[in-house]
Amino acid sequence: MTEPLLDAAGIEKGYGRISVLKGVDLAIAAGDAHVVIGPNGAGKTTLFKVLSGELIPDKGVVRFAGHDVTAMPGWRRTRLGIGRTFQVARTFKDLTTFENVVVALEAKRRQTASVFELLRLRPSDTVRKAARAMLDEFSLDTVADWPAGLLSHGDKKSLELAMALAARPRLLMLDEPTAGMAPADRRRSIDLISRLLAKGEFSLLLTEHDMEVVFGLATSITVLNYGEVIATGSPEAVRSNPRVKEVYLGHDVSAS
């Protein structure tokens, strides 16, 4: 078997005396759509922060594409190819939708761009074309000139997704991408994510509450409970895991 794209081993993280993650192992193969689920307080968000670079774990190692990224700050991880969104979509509210994407694209290009391009007053044609194309793809073309702060909740989430993808990540991490969305928006959002995923340009790691989303997208699932992994594997395997049924999924799954 080839080396997984992301490999976290023995992750421990605590706040003061409270230990939140107690030795979590997690591996994501290239091309995977990996979903982390678990009841509230299971440590999903903390794990997400440790993997994305927002927090540094107390113990354990995070490796990404052959690099040890355990203590690497978020912006360097992004440059290596880990993109992410936030639970509550964060965009640059006083910049326009278009400018938001431009800033994201330019951040990516800065790694390779020539000095001449960096010193240009206006965004280069390439960047502007790419930004327009992204806005079209994410159905944001009609609000391109709005300040991002005025966008609807759903549009903000789409915009943030577009910005994360502008960095052309190899692994995209989404923290509850459909949290607080109306059912229609939620479906639209899942469709968008699975359509992007189908292109095979990136792997996916997401945390999620909504079981429809989980089983609609996941190729593999990890179940966290009280900071420990209680099951990991294919959706079918996890669904039929008695321990998972007992502590978490139980009635949810049998009801659906």
Partner 1 sequence: MNRLGSPRLSQFVAILAGALLIGATLPLYANAGIVFLAGLVAIDIVIALAFNFLFATVGVLSFGQAGFILVGAYAAGVAIKFSGVSILPTLILAGVASAFVAMVIGLVALRRVSGVYFAVLTLAFASLGFVAVSKSEFLGREDGLTGITRPDLELGIAAISLTESVHFYYFVLAVCAVLIAVMWYSTSSQFGRTLKAIKQDADRSAFLGINVQGFRVAAFVLAGAVTGMAGALLGPLTQIVTPDLGYWTQSTKPILYAMLGGSGFFWGPAVGAVLFAVLSYATRTLVGMTEVITGGLLLVVVLAIPGGVLGVFQSIARLVRRRSAR
Chain residues in the site for partner 1 (CB under 8 A): 52-54, 73-75, 78-79, 83-84, 86, 90-96, 99-100, 102-104, 106-108, 110-111, 118-121, 123, 145, 147, 160, 163-164, 166-167
Measure the CA–CA gap between 176 and 188, rounded to whole angstroms. Answer: 15
Residues, the chain: 256
- Output 146 or 226, the one with its CB closest to partner 1: 146
If the CB atoms of residues 148 and 229 are measured against partner 1, the closer one turns out to be 148
C-beta closer to partner 1: residue 29 or 113: 113
Give the whole-angstrom CA distance, residue 61 versus residue 157.
Answer: 31
Question: What is the closest distance, in whole angstroms, from the C-beta atom of residue 35 to partner 1 in the complex?
Answer: 20
Q: Encode 16-29: b = buried (16+ Cβ within 10 Å), e = exposed.
A: eeeebbbebebbbb
Residue 195 Cα distances to 80, 137, 234, angstroms: 24, 11, 21
Give the DSSP H/E element, type plus range, for residue 177.
none
CB of 251 to partner 1, least distance (A): 37
E strands, 16-145, in order: 18-28, 33-37, 59-64, 67-68, 82-84
Closest residue by Cα to residue 239 from 227, 225, 221, 226: 221
CB 103 to partner 1: min, Å: 5
CA atoms within 13 A on the CB side of 211: 13
Identify the CA nearest to 77 among candidates 174, 171, 12, 216. Answer: 171
Nearest distance, CB of residue 22 and partner 1, angstroms: 26
What's the rounded Cα separation, in Å, for the pair 27 and 23? 13
How far is Cα 125 from Cα 156, in angstroms, rounded to an integer? 25
Residue closer to partner 1 by CB (options 25, 99) is 99
Using the minimum distance from each CB to partner 1, give the nearer residue, 144 or 211. Answer: 144
* Shortest spacing between CB 91 and partner 1, in angstroms: 7
Q: Which two tokens stand for residue 183?
A: 């059912």
CB closer to partner 1 out of 119 and 198: 119
Cβ proximity to partner 1, 155 vs 223, nearer residue: 155
Question: Please, what is the minimum distance in Å from the beta carbon of residue 78 to partner 1?
Answer: 4
Q: Least Å distance between CB 42 and partner 1?
A: 23
